[in-house]
């Protein structure tokens, strides 16, 4: 193993730099990963452009790699050479009240990968063993990476939807998360409506599993859903409150609006809209390592795959720009096998985001 590795770090708001670091030694309960792939997520925008430090910090929380060193106190299940993943939730503490109840995804001492600890825009990464996810052999590292965030977030949201096979379920926002939600919803047996803006995404939405596409440029999506009897659930992958709030009227009685997008805008919710038909609004986080493994297994079983573009770590700045600008269909993944660009590692790049948090 080499003594150093390359990593892309955030040195300040919107500033990315490719650097060389000394390979770390895993501590108690930790492993060292040789990263093979790391997906880019819209939530990286907060870590890169609006994070508050401490800096430098390595972003990225859709990480797949192989264990190359093991610290003390790590289960024998996580052996050298094993291929594993790490999502946004980087490992629970097993001590807090939520952990003692088995609600590991709500751990109060959870590491948030790429935000409160270093993530996967790097050739090496330290990870808590409690956050590790086993990767099925049927998935490549590049395919598996986006499932660790975009996949589990939408898979779990659909499981919480209260819907049954044949029910109408709508997906609001057909991007990195939405394109996974459409596939899972179709394979779970729902009647699937995709809600997007413009006609350019319509064919893709249908190909991904939507039975119908609602273009918000020409239709009132909530009225369209209501005319169909209302949706049992609407999975909102965008964070804009003025876009999400009107969708409540498109829910069926006892329907659920499930929020995945993490925008800052407040939701305008009419109490009457909730009370009169017993509708509800629910937030949904990604999930525990066990739930992540269930998502991966379901993806293999039903042939769900993210649609990805790949770029080497040396081109992380351009990959991030393409993701934030919406040029990528539908998920960008960094790979660690491209050696080009090492000589320019000291250059700092200023990033300008597009002002939204859709993942």
Which residue spans within the chain are E strands per DSSP? 4-12, 15-22, 30-40, 62-70, 83-86, 124-128, 133-134, 168-172, 191-196, 212-215, 231-236, 251-259, 280-283, 308-312, 331-335, 348-350
The residue assigned the tokens 């790590």 is 74
| Distance of alpha carbon 74 from alpha carbon 96, whole angstroms | 19
> Which residues of the chain form CATH 3.40.50.720?
161-283
4-149+287-350: which CATH topology? Quinone Oxidoreductase; Chain A, domain 1 (3.90.180)
Residue burial 92-124, b: 16+ Cβ < 10 Å; e: rest = bbeebebbeeeebbbbeebbebbbebbbbbbbb
In the three-class reduction of DSSP (H, G, I as helix; E, B as strand; rest coil), residue 315 is classed as helix
> Which residues of the chain form CATH 3.90.180.10?
4-149+287-350
Predicted pLDDT at 349? 52
| Distance of alpha carbon 262 from alpha carbon 342, whole angstroms | 35
The distance of Cα 1 from the centroid of its chain, to the nearest Å, equals 30
Which segments of the chain have a pLDDT < 70?
A: 338-359
Provide the 8-state DSSP code for 299. H
* Spatial contact of 186 and 180, defined as CB atoms under 8 Å apart: no
Q: What is the pLDDT of residues 185-224, one digit of tens each?
A: 999 999 999 999 999 999 999 999 999 999 999 999 999 9
| Distance of alpha carbon 266 from alpha carbon 271, whole angstroms | 15
β partners of residue 215: 196
Q: Which CATH superfamily, name and number, covers 161-283? A: NAD(P)-binding Rossmann-like Domain (3.40.50.720)
The residue assigned the tokens 């939730």 is 89
* Spatial contact of 149 and 50, defined as CB atoms under 8 Å apart: no
Predicted pLDDT at 339? 37
Predicted pLDDT at 129? 97
Tell me if the bond preceding 348 is cis, omega within 30° of 0: no
DSSP 248-294: GGGEEEEEEEEE----SSPP---HHHHHTTT-EEEE-----HHHHHH
Predicted pLDDT at 294? 98
| Distance of alpha carbon 314 from alpha carbon 122, whole angstroms | 10
Predicted pLDDT at 171? 98
Predicted pLDDT at 357? 34
CA distances from 248 to 155, 205, 266, 267, 271 (A): 21, 22, 14, 10, 11
- The candidate with the shortest Cα–Cα distance to 248, out of 240, 236, 261, 260, is 236
| Distance of alpha carbon 149 from alpha carbon 137, whole angstroms | 19
């Amino acid at each position: 193993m080499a003594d150093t590795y390359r990593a892309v770090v955030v040195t300040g708001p919107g500033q990315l730099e490719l650097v060389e670091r000394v390979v770390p030694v895993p501590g108690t309960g930790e492993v060292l990963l040789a990263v093979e792939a790391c997906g880019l997520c819209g939530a990286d925008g907060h870590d890169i452009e609006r994070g508050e430090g401490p800096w430098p910090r390595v972003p990225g929380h859709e990480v797949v790699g192989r264990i190359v060193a093991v610290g003390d106190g790590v289960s024998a299940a996580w052996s050298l050479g094993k291929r594993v993943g790490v999502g946004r939730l980087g490992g629970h503490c097993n001590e807090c009240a939520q952990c003692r109840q088995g609600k590991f995804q709500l751990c109060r001492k959870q590491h948030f990968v790429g935000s409160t600890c270093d993530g996967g825009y790097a050739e090496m990464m330290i990870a808590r063993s409690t956050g590790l996810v086993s990767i099925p052999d049927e998935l490549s590292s590049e395919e598996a990476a986006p499932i660790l965030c975009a996949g589990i977030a939408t898979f779990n949201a659909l499981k919480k939807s209260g819907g049954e096979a044949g029910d109408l379920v709508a997906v609001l926002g057909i991007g990195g998360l939405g394109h996974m939600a459409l596939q899972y919803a179709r394979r779970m047996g729902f009647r699937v409506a995709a809600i997007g803006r413009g006609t350019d995404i319509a064919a893709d939405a249908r190909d991904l599993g939507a039975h119908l596409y609602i273009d918000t440029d020409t239709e009132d999506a909530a009225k369209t859903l209501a005319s169909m009897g209302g949706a049992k659930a609407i999975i909102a992958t965008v964070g804009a409150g003025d876009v999400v709030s009107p969708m409540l009227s498109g829910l069926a009685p006892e329907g659920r609006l499930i929020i995945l997008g993490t925008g800052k805008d407040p939701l305008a919710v009419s109490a009457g809209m909730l009370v009169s038909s017993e509708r509800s609004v629910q937030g949904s986080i990604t999930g525990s390592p066990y739930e992540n493994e269930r998502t991966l297994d379901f993806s293999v079983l039903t042939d769900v795959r993210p649609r990805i573009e790949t770029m080497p770590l040396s081109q992380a700045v351009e990959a991030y720009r393409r993701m934030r600008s919406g040029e990528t269909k539908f998920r960008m993944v960094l790979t660690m096998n491209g050696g080009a660009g090492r000589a320019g590692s000291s250059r700092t790049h200023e990033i300008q985001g597009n002002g939204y948090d859709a993942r």
